[in-house]
Homo-oligomer: A and B are copies of this chain.
């Protein structure tokens, strides 16, 4: 038997496959057309089912599925199935278009360009996730806790440090009293000793969790200081010390995780807290 298709490219994504199926469906033999119709009508079934179960549903033989896949250039049914699974994986809206737009620009021609593109794409993906992963109610509670605090303690190390660095800058501008923890070594405990129930803390730590940050958050929690935290897993040791915590998974490129979503989150939180404070103060003045 001659190779059915090796001159024309094998579809790499679902859209490409769909287009190819539609293009050829009239020339397809009876059973294969039957499979084609079923595949486009029940893509989820193809993604999750086994060849046997799909064959039963589509009322064909398992071998027909294999032949179908091979007709479109795949090695077997399994490799065709990957296309259907990938479709479910990449559910983020607008993501595909963005990626295509990126890879189409002239950055990719140069050596360092793909690195640049990669990080921009990772940042986009992170931001796409953040809107769904952060619950508005939790955000509101976090804002209330921090807005009610006399002093806000900022806990972050290493990779998370830039985030608290920004918040420190912004809080300063907005005239919100804050205290950074962990800038100079040794005096952290003294600083934390001043914190009390009237204050609040914001801690950031991503895996691998800096043990210092975790311990400081724990210490604050035992001192009845309400802690709001930002982390990347429900299993983060930070979560247990926190009154409110946010799970925020940053996309990565080449193993370097983005900070864009965390940054956006930090900005929003900072400004929302300042805004809330302003309102509280005004109400007090009126009364």
Contacts and interface: CB of A to CB of B under 8 A. Distances in A.
Interface stretch (A3-11, A61-69, A134-142, A211-219): A134-142
Interface majority SS (helix, strand, loop, mixed), chain A: helix
Task: Bin chain A's interface residue count.
Answer: 35 or more
A186 interface: no
A284 to B, nearest CB: 18
Interface in A224-269: 233-235, 240, 249, 253-254, 256, 258-261, 263-265, 267-268
Given A89-B44, A106-B136, A123 B127 contact: yes
Contact of A235 (B36, B119, B123, B134): B36
Given A99-B93, A263-B260, A264-B119, A48 B85 contact: yes
A88 B158 CA distance: 35
A132 B120 CA distance: 11
A278 interface: no
Contact of A123 (B132, B143, B260): B260
Contacts of A276: 111-112
